[in-house]
């Protein structure tokens, strides 16, 4: 019998303690703590994410049921609900944010050869979007969104070649999506795919000045004059490919250069789309495909909301909410790294399901994640009960 580490320990072993401690030291996370340090807090919260716990009490009860194994998970002592709750409330959420940034740097090279992105393009392609996570305003009073509704926003910039987030920020629901553009350092030659929420010509012009490219949905009330029209293949759904210049009193000053306007009709949805871009070289149909690929970031938001604990929160303070979300993101990235390091063909969801019921097993994790099919023995089974005659 395998007498090695628990499965949970095998997952955690891919983490660089050196990089983790750098994040902790940067924000004095272990200041005036003796027993329950940031590492133990991270392990408890990650355990809760991997095993689908419903609350802090649920995490502690589950660990208490295996009290003789807790030390071997890396958690030195059993703790109380209040200890973990207090740590989430008081320890700087930026510790986990910085550590997530390190995990992103590890994960991106592993997914750079992702075959799901089929557009032949040498440039890096990013999708930028935000997802709202609803909160009860009477409980989370700091998360003001609407008059009777609270929320936080998860702003994400994703590399579409690997579907790995490269930049993330958490704000209250009141912060407009477009303001996140102020925090992004634009990469020369890269494409940034955005929806109408980022429609701001002053900020779009900054992307152009950085010698990067954008593709964005146009609004109906845009004022412009057509300078040139280019031939398009209308059998692909393209309606027009134009070079334009803005003529609005403000927009013409905010974006003084030329723009490219592409109109496309989607037969499946019976819907017309109009795109604006500052790239004049790519085929217009490729521009439409780039925008279509933006859907991957919507799938990412849907996935983490369904499979990670970021809709029901284990604390009420802003720091506790951000701590839970960032550790959930770290968990996602760790599982993604594990998948590639073990070259598993299972989906991230399947891996999470396996890990959720195997945390206290001592099976080698590579054996757990091996692709195999159940093969029934080819024996004579005439004596077996036949349920259905086909």
Q: What is the pLDDT of residues 248-299, one digit of tens each?
A: 999 999 999 999 999 999 998 899 999 999 999 999 999 999 999 999 999 9
Query: Rounded CA gap, 193 and 117, in Å?
Result: 14
Query: Rounded CA gap, 177 and 197, in Å?
Result: 6
What is the model's pTM? 0.90
| pLDDT score of 371 | 59
The DSSP call for residue 380 is: -
Instruction: Identify the domain boundary among 244, 268, 284.
Output: 284
CA 185 vs. chain centroid, Å, equals 19
Percentage of the chain lying above the pLDDT 90 cut: 80
Instruction: Please indicate, yes or no, if residue 385 is contained in any of the structural domains.
Output: no
Query: Rounded CA gap, 201 and 267, in Å?
Result: 30
Q: Which domain holds residue 260?
A: 210-284
Query: Rounded CA gap, 70 and 44, in Å?
Result: 10
Buried b (16+ CB within 10 A) or exposed e, 148-187: eebbbbbbbbbbbbbbbbbbbbbbbbebebbebbeebebe
- Encoded tokens for 97: 């944010």
Instruction: Please indicate, yes or no, if residue 239 is contained in any of the structural domains.
Output: yes
Query: Rounded CA gap, 205 and 250, in Å?
Result: 13
User: How high does pLDDT run on average in the chain?
Assistant: 90
Instruction: Please indicate, yes or no, if residue 332 is contained in any of the structural domains.
Output: yes
Instruction: Please indicate, yes or no, if residue 81 is contained in any of the structural domains.
Output: yes
In a shared domain, residues 269 and 326: no
Specify the CATH number for the domain of residue 270: 2.20.25
Calculate mean pLDDT across residues 359-372.
Answer: 84
Instruction: Please indicate, yes or no, if residue 11 is contained in any of the structural domains.
Output: yes
In a shared domain, residues 14 and 71: yes
| pLDDT score of 3 | 61
With tokens 């580490």, the residue in question is: 5
pLDDT band at 370 (very low <50, low <70, confident <90, very high): confident
Sort 131 into a burial class: Cβ within 10 Å, 0-12 / 13-18 / 19+: middle
Instruction: Please indicate, yes or no, if residue 26 is contained in any of the structural domains.
Output: yes
| pLDDT score of 181 | 96
Instruction: Please indicate, yes or no, if residue 379 is contained in any of the structural domains.
Output: no
Least confident stretch, 5-14, 31-40, 106-115, 336-345: 106-115
C-alpha dist (Å) from residue 267 to 216, 219, 236, 242, 292: 20, 20, 10, 21, 14
CA 215 vs. chain centroid, Å, equals 21
Phi, psi at residue 130, to the nearest 5°? -135, 145
- Assess whether pLDDT exceeds 70 at residue 385: no
| pLDDT score of 1 | 41
Instruction: Please indicate, yes or no, if residue 171 is contained in any of the structural domains.
Output: no
Other beta carbons within 10 Å of 129: 23
Domain count, the chain: 2
Instruction: Identify the domain boundary among 233, 267, 284.
Output: 284
């Amino acid at each position: 019998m395998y007498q090695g580490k628990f499965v949970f320990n095998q997952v955690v072993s891919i983490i660089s303690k050196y990089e983790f401690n750098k994040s902790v030291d940067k924000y004095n996370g272990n200041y005036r703590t003796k027993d329950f340090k940031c590492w133990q807090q991270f392990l408890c919260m990650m355990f809760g994410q991997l095993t689908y716990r419903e609350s802090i009490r649920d995490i502690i009860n589950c660990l208490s049921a295996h009290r003789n194994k807790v030390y071997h998970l890396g958690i030195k002592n059993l703790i109380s609900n209040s200890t973990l709750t207090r740590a989430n409330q008081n320890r700087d959420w930026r510790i986990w944010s910085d550590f997530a940034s390190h995990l992103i740097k590890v994960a991106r090279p592993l997914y750079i050869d992702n075959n799901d992105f089929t557009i032949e393009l040498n440039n890096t392609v990013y999708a930028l979007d935000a997802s709202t996570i609803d909160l009860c305003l009477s409980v989370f009073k700091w998360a003001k969104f609407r008059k009777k509704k609270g929320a936080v926003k998860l702003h994400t910039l994703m590399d579409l070649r690997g579907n790995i987030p490269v930049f993330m920020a958490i704000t209250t629901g009141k912060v407009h999506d477009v303001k996140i553009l102020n925090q992004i350092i634009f990469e020369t030659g890269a494409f940034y795919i955005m929806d109408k929420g980022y429609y701001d010509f002053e900020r779009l012009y900054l992307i152009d000045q950085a010698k990067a490219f954008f593709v964005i949905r146009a609004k109906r009330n845009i004022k412009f004059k057509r300078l040139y029209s280019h031939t398009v293949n209308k059998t692909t759904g393209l309606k027009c490919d134009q070079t334009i210049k803005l003529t609005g009193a403000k927009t013409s000053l905010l974006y003084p250069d030329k723009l490219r306007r592409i109109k496309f009709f989607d037969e499946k949805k019976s819907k017309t789309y109009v795109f604006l871009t500052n790239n004049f070289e790519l085929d217009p149909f490729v521009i439409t495909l780039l925008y279509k690929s933006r859907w991957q970031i919507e799938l990412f938001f849907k996935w983490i909301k369904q499979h990670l604990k970021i809709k029901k929160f284990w604390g009420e303070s802003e720091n506790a909410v951000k701590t839970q979300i960032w550790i959930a993101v770290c968990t996602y990235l760790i599982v993604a790294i594990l998948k590639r390091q073990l070259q598993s063909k299972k989906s991230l969801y399947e891996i999470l399901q396996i890990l959720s019921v195997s945390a206290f097993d001592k099976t080698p994790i590579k054996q757990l994640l091996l692709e195999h099919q159940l093969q029934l023995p080819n024996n004579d089974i005439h004596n077996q009960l036949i349920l259905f005659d086909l």
